[in-house]
């Protein structure tokens, strides 16, 4: 979770500014572990893939 903690407040602030619950931050943790180069089986890339 170290990678995610670097961006936690920034990501949560952006989510809130856009009307998205701050808890959605944890979706990126589950999906990619905050690895920027993560790639799914469906070829989606990035922390939100």
Q: Could you give the CA distance from residue 49 to residue 45 in angstroms, rounded to a whole number? A: 5
- 3: domain range? 1-49
Query: What is the DSSP secondary-structure string of 1-49?
Result: -HHHHHHHHHHHHHHHHTT--GGGHHHHHHHHTT-TT-B-TT--BSTT-
Two tokens at 32?
């990619």
Number of structural domains found in the chain: 1
pTM to 2 decimal places: 0.73
The predicted structure's pLDDT at residue 1: 52
Per-residue pLDDT of the chain (49 residues; tens, 9 = 90+): 567 788 899 999 999 999 999 999 999 889 888 888 888 889 989 888 8
The predicted structure's pLDDT at residue 18: 98
């Amino acid at each position: 979770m170290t990678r995610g903690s670097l961006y936690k407040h920034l990501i949560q602030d952006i989510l809130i500014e856009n009307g998205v619950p701050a808890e959605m931050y944890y979706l990126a943790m589950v999906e990619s572990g905050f690895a920027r180069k993560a790639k799914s089986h469906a070829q989606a890339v990035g922390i939100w893939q």
